[in-house]
Amino acid sequence: MKITVVGTGYVGLVSGACMAEVGNDVLCLDLDAAKIRTLLEGGIPIHEPGLLEMVRRNVAAGRLHFTTNVEQAVQHGTIQFIAVGTPPDEDGSADLKYVLAAARNIGRLMTDYKVVVDKSTVPVGTGDLVKAAIVEELGKRGFETQFSVVSNPEFLKEGAAVEDFMRPDRIVVGADNEQAIFLMRALYAPFQRNHERLIVTDVRSAELTKYAANAMLATRISFMNELANLAEKLGADIEMVRQGIGSDPRIGYDFLYPGCGYGGSCFPKDVKALIKTASDKAGMELKVLGAVEEVNDAQKRVLTHKITRHFGADLTGKHFALWGLAFKPNTDDMRDAPSRALLDDLFAAGATVTAYDPVAMPEAKRIFGDEPRLRYSSKAMDALDSADALVIVTEWKEFRSADMDTIKQKLKTPLVFDGRNLYDPKFVRSRGINYFPIGR
């Protein structure tokens, strides 16, 4: 099947590579010439485990192609995936200008039947806007041809996106046209050979499903973070509480790990967008999600509060080692990452920082530029040299069994502020280290 994917970011590139992997002829379009040049030269513009090898394999096999030519892309695929960014506007709503620009290009250049698929995370009602944009462009040309608009939201976890696409939990297809549904079933058949995973809904229900899923996961995180703060004040251990409630099959263990807040490209943006959608389109205040957002914003400052309680508000002359910059392991994504809030607080209080992250340091250098108060270390343990404390923000695997004796030896003072609860408090403290986790 011939497929066009508009956008070679996180969603578009993963989707395009995985669809090529099962034999489709995929053309990925991006107007960013630098991205396409990187891809044509054998690189990828994002960090995602397994993706580079898959891209190279399918390019070599002649199934995956890249272009900046809009007309070529529109002519190529019967199915046209729109997988462009929907960044938040100042008021928290999703900015649809890139989605609608892609739709207009399709309407301006299409010459036969197309299935136009919204893969980007978009507010409820976007399918109608995409359809209207295509109809408008066809009208300008005086050209008549059939097309269908489908919502097919992605449910990919950064750091496990390739695996999630190849072995999906569910495939949601929002459509009201039988031909479009038939083609989408054919497209996804190779990904559900074990059992049926495809759920067909109307377009608006599919659009809301994506937001509802991310909002639910964000709610679980904020709920556990608030409980962790309570447990700390009451003298309880949130890890024991997590095990106690997670063992209930109605609750389960997933997304019950307390920490220093959620970040990334999805949860913060999607919670804001759903709140805004409810307010603007339905006149509703989503009180639960408002609290979820408020709790998360506060949780990103919990490590700052622990540090200033110990050292005082003025951190001038203090130097900290920071382990982790990405918002989660196995990605270089620092969008809305807790590390950014922490670094801003530490700099404002007069501190300096040496940071280490296995993959996100180039992204941090892009964000912070020549910030003189921030240095980088090529090794985790080397970041500890002459530091007054170690602060852990991302739960990379290589941090999980760190040598406590080496940590104590390298730090000026044996202090660890752990924003991800990586260690057993009793063991760390038995090694002579003052340990400050979350809710324990």
Residues serving a catalytic function are: 266
What are the backbone dihedrals phi and psi of residue 214, each rounded to the nearest 5 degrees, phi first?
Answer: -65, -35
Count how many Cα atoms sit within 13 Å of the Cα of residue 94 in the half-sphere of its side chain. 28
What are the backbone dihedrals phi and psi of residue 147, each rounded to the nearest 5 degrees, phi first?
Answer: -155, 160
User: How many CB atoms sit inside 10 A of residue 393's CB?
Assistant: 30
Distance (Å) of CA 225 to CA 198, 235, 243, 437: 34, 15, 15, 12
Tell me, what DSSP letter sits at residue 190? G
DSSP string across 198-250: EEEE-HHHHHHHHHHHHHHHHHHHHHHHHHHHHHHHHT--HHHHHHHHHTSTT
Contact yes or no for 150/174 (Cβ under 8 A): yes
Contact yes or no for 119/9 (Cβ under 8 A): no
Q: How far apart are CA 108 and CA 138, in angstroms?
A: 6
Contact yes or no for 228/438 (Cβ under 8 A): yes
CA dihedral sign of residues 33, 39, 43, 47: positive
184 closest CA partner among 78, 113, 82, 83: 78
Count how many Cα atoms sit within 13 Å of the Cα of residue 326 in the half-sphere of its side chain. 19
What are 208's two structure tokens?
Answer: 């809301």
Strands 434-436 and 415-418: parallel
Place of tokens 């979820």: 292
